[in-house]
Structure 1
Amino acid sequence: MLRIGSGAGFSGDRLEPAVLLAERGELDYLVLECLAERTIALAQKRKLHDPARGYDPLLEKRMKQLLPVTKANGVRIITNMGAANPLAAARRVLEIAGSLGLSLKVAAVTGDDVLDLITPADTVLETGEPLASYPQVISANAYLGADALLPALKSGADVIITGRVADPSLFLAPMIYHYGWSLQDADRIAQGTVVGHLLECAGQICGGYFADPGIKDVPDLANIGFPYADIDSTGRAVIGKVAGTGGLISLATVKEQLLYEVTDPTGYVTPDVVADFAAVRLREAGSDLIEVSNGRGRQRPQALKVSIGYQAGFLGEGEISYAGSNAAARAKLAGEIVRERLQDRCRDLRVDFIGSTSVHRQSFWPDVEPYEVRLRVAGKVPTRELAELIGEEVEALYTNGPAGGGGARKYVNELIGIVSTLIPREKVTTHVTVLE
């Protein structure tokens, strides 16, 4: 039986449940999924400023705490924390291991960076327009599949670091390696993909993001555990968590995670397979234990998806609060003032009343008069100077707007836009570098 644990579901995930899972979970592998479309574009931007960086900013913190535990317990780490620079990340992990007195073998998987392989004529999937119609492209990363990780697994590396790899593929690769599955066995690869998809968001399947008090109660969320899966040679798996940890693994949490970010359950496309989630069977196998089986699939696609990051200007924001009698009307007037002052220079301007209309753009209780309102004005603009002006105009409401405004804040962020395209699989070449 193969046991794979999930140590992170996104770049900023908590570290403590991963350490506990590595300590007490009796794992073979710990997978940390830390990369999203915007995350890797921002990493590429950091790499442009410093060629020695470009990996996940929490790499050092995670590895300093995890390496002593995983080494002591014979757990191999697989992670996409390499982001835009897997080789630099691998070197840094080796340095950290040395500082801890640990002897490690680290493998870096590269080849997902395809910036030199895309062309201005490539079609953007979201709009059907050519890539040439977008501003300066700063990154292009293909979603690699499990096959790219197999040489790294064969190398015996204690830590395997990748860039952009499809999330479930990080979990699927050790299944293929451990059991010797054929990459052409679509049903088995699909079943492994189902398991990887269920594990990839870590705490979500244990009740995080599921919890809704009084409707879907989850116990002890403050001490939520992260999941593991026991997987047999057919791909059948039982999802569980370390005894005594908080959270909940149930048919409901597993079903929600199964459908998370899935637009077509009968045709979930990954670099490894086109999986059919409709046939998946779930069964309670005990307390906080759910058995997963019967994933089905079709052969993998001939093209790989590419996530493209481009310079999208700047976001300027300003916030200010109004409280007490007539707060909503004063906040509304303040928003109108800023909009009028900026309308000729900032055409893409958004005015929100946080807690009332900022998420759904309307209030579900229009007759309720809030006692306090926080005004937020934000706009996407081409220059930093214009972005700064938005916050400045909001701050100026202190003495140039309605009565009682307070707690003003202003922010400017450089924006990275994300679109995607396809690239023929045969154009992408992957490589594994082993360091020790």
Structure 2
Amino acid sequence: MRTVRVGCGAGFAGDRVQPAVDLVDRGELDYLVLECLAERTTALGQLRRLADPTAGYDPSLDRRMRLLLKPLARTGTRLVTNIGSADPPAAARRVLQIAAELAVPVSVAAVTGDDVLDRIDVTAPAWEDGRPLIEHGELVSASAYLGADALLPALRGGAQVVIGGRIADPSLFVAPLAHEFGWSLDDVDRIAGATAIGHLLECGGQVTGGYFADPPYKTVPDLANLGYPIAEVDEDAAGVLTKPPGTGGRVDRMTVAEQLAYEVTDPRAYLTPDVTADFTTVRIHETGPDRVRVTATTGAPRPPTLKVSVGYRAGFRCEAEISYAGATALDRARLAGQVVADRLGDLIPRLRIDYIGATALHGDDLGGGAEPYECRLRIAGIAPTREAAEAIGDEVTALYTTGPAGGGGVRVTTEEVIGIVSTSIERSLVEPRVHHLAADR
């Protein structure tokens, strides 16, 4: 039975690049997928575009394309990615520029239509808190989650590189498989099977042991050289997960089962733009070292609406830190935190004080035990203006000489905060388009 080999070379914007190059060089791939977006990074892309009309795509694009375009051309592997973020056409044009510099012939397609800021109902309640979207602040982005149907015209048009924006993670994998096997998107069981494979692949190295390691309970060999995943998928949407030979990591029932459950709220109804997948029907079988066969996923028709991730200006956040060491480190850090809180008064409506090494993760209730010999005080807050937020950093810095003894190593960062809430939109209001670009001959 014919199989299509699909690899995932990025699970988020900051992922490593070399494993993706290794996948293309040695993985005998038909398709490489780079999944580079999350809700917040999509909104940040819109902010970059507002500040600079040419900067809406993900900043990692240049580094990835400079390393990948030649191997892609040499092996004939096609690339599908959402690295276009807030501006897929600009990303596509940049790929062509890099290809020209490298003397690599390439055809590129940009997929647009996810930007629905001018079409959402701003009076609709946000899923997270029930408040109307408009009450959250100035809206800067509204990105609908596009599905495989948005990508298929680009693949049918022959583009070697397909770049979109907010495309649902598993849809990046469903589209190439549906294209290669000629599946109807109404074939819910096959599309559900492809969705399960895509969900397992979409976080890159997580399914091969990254984020899985928890010594001594869960060990992962040679994690420093973690290989990224490959799926060999057949026409029935069953697939074998593996990784390049000689790489670190592990692929077995444990890593696959853990990734299958990752970020799944209802395993009986995993909603995507393509299908409603029932992950409780998935069957996992180890067929050899670092080889796991995934079969039997069933599905139901896709949801009638699309999810929309909405970004809004939520003020400015300042985070400031200072360290204390010695027998009374925690007591001095607590005194310093109280001093800063008193000096700020009511200036910062949302202030958080953490004692890293003592209470930062679980709070006072779950602390206990011996007092730490060293402690890092972190004070963070969100304010409506940058000037107000920067007062946190000013007061923490002042602790050098106006706070408890022995403070040092101050670090301060201030940045604008983009809040994220979710809503839905009727499919009829979303109009995906494909823009084919080719290098000048």
TM over 0.5: yes
Task: Determine which of 20, 23, 27 is the counterpart of 1:21.
Answer: 23
Residue of structure 2 in register with 1:417 after alignment: 419
Residue of structure 1 in register with 2:300 after alignment: 298
For 2:11, the aligned partner's letter is G
Q: Contact 1:142–1:164 at 8 Å: present in 2 too? A: yes
User: Secondary structure of the residue that 1:313 maps to in structure 2?
Assistant: strand
Residue of structure 2 in register with 1:260 after alignment: 262
Q: How does 1:4-19 map to 2 (within 5 A)?
A: 4-19=6-21
Task: Determine which of 155, 180, 184 is the counterpart of 1:182.
Answer: 184
User: Secondary structure of the residue that 2:117 maps to in structure 1?
Assistant: coil
Residue of structure 2 in register with 1:203 after alignment: 205
User: Secondary structure of the residue that 2:120 maps to in structure 1?
Assistant: coil
Q: How does 1:321-336 map to 2 (within 5 A)?
A: 321-336=323-338
Does residue 238 in structure 1 map to residue 240 in structure 2?
Answer: yes
Residue of structure 2 in register with 1:279 after alignment: 281
User: Secondary structure of the residue that 1:376 maps to in structure 2?
Assistant: strand
The Cα shift of 1:122 comes to 2.0
Residue of structure 2 in register with 1:114 after alignment: 116
For 1:352, the aligned partner's letter is D
The Cα shift of 1:343 comes to 2.6
CA RMSD of aligned residues (A): 0.8
Equivalences, count: 436
Does residue 71 in structure 1 map to residue 73 in structure 2?
Answer: yes
Q: Contact 1:149–1:173 at 8 Å: present in 2 too? A: yes
Separation in 2, partners of 1:160, 1:114 = 21
Extract unaligned runs of 5+ from structure 2: none
For 1:174, the aligned partner's letter is P
For 2:72, the aligned partner's letter is T
Separation in 2, partners of 1:376, 1:358 = 8
The Cα shift of 1:355 comes to 1.9
For 1:119, the aligned partner's letter is D
For 1:191, the aligned partner's letter is G
* Partner deviation per Cα, 1:362-385 (whole Å, 9 max, x = no partner): 364513110000000111111101
User: Secondary structure of the residue that 1:328 maps to in structure 2?
Assistant: helix
User: Secondary structure of the residue that 1:39 maps to in structure 2?
Assistant: helix
The Cα shift of 1:405 comes to 0.6
TM-score normalised to the size of structure 2?
0.98
Task: Determine which of 376, 393, 396 is the counterpart of 2:395.
Answer: 393
Separation in 2, partners of 1:349, 1:88 = 39
For 2:23, the aligned partner's letter is L
For 1:266, the aligned partner's letter is R
For 1:267, the aligned partner's letter is A
Separation in 2, partners of 1:207, 1:362 = 33
Greater displacement, 340-349 / 4-13: 340-349
Separation in 1, partners of 2:342, 2:299 = 55
For 2:141, the aligned partner's letter is S
* Partner deviation per Cα, 1:380-406 (whole Å, 9 max, x = no partner): 111101111001101111111111111
The Cα shift of 1:328 comes to 0.8
Separation in 1, partners of 2:250, 2:364 = 34
For 1:336, the aligned partner's letter is Q
Tell me which stretches of 4 or more aligned residues in structure 1 moved more than 4 Å: none
Q: Contact 1:348–1:380 at 8 Å: present in 2 too? A: yes
Q: Contact 2:111–2:432 at 8 Å: present in 1 too? A: yes
The Cα shift of 1:411 comes to 1.2
Greater displacement, 340-349 / 307-316: 340-349
The Cα shift of 1:67 comes to 0.5
The Cα shift of 1:414 comes to 0.5
Extract unaligned runs of 5+ from structure 1: none
Q: How does 1:104-183 map to 2 (within 5 A)?
A: 104-183=106-185
* Partner deviation per Cα, 1:316-336 (whole Å, 9 max, x = no partner): 121111001211111111111
Q: Contact 1:316–1:386 at 8 Å: present in 2 too? A: no
Q: Contact 1:308–1:419 at 8 Å: present in 2 too? A: yes
Q: How does 1:334-413 map to 2 (within 5 A)?
A: 334-362=336-364, 364-413=366-415
Tell me the percent identity.
58
Separation in 2, partners of 1:158, 1:329 = 60
Greater displacement, 23-32 / 120-129: 120-129
Separation in 2, partners of 1:210, 1:356 = 25
The Cα shift of 1:347 comes to 2.4
* Partner deviation per Cα, 1:247-285 (whole Å, 9 max, x = no partner): 111100001100000011111100001110001000001
Separation in 2, partners of 1:33, 1:111 = 18
The Cα shift of 1:53 comes to 1.6
Separation in 1, partners of 2:125, 2:435 = 32
User: Secondary structure of the residue that 2:43 maps to in structure 1?
Assistant: helix
User: Secondary structure of the residue that 1:167 maps to in structure 2?
Assistant: coil
Separation in 2, partners of 1:124, 1:157 = 37
For 2:46, the aligned partner's letter is Q
The Cα shift of 1:409 comes to 1.4
TM-score normalised to the size of structure 1?
0.99
For 1:14, the aligned partner's letter is R
* Partner deviation per Cα, 1:63-84 (whole Å, 9 max, x = no partner): 0110000110010000000000
Residue of structure 1 in register with 2:42 after alignment: 40
Greater displacement, 393-402 / 123-132: 123-132
Residue of structure 1 in register with 2:54 after alignment: 52
Separation in 1, partners of 2:263, 2:122 = 29
The Cα shift of 1:123 comes to 2.1
User: Secondary structure of the residue that 2:207 maps to in structure 1?
Assistant: helix
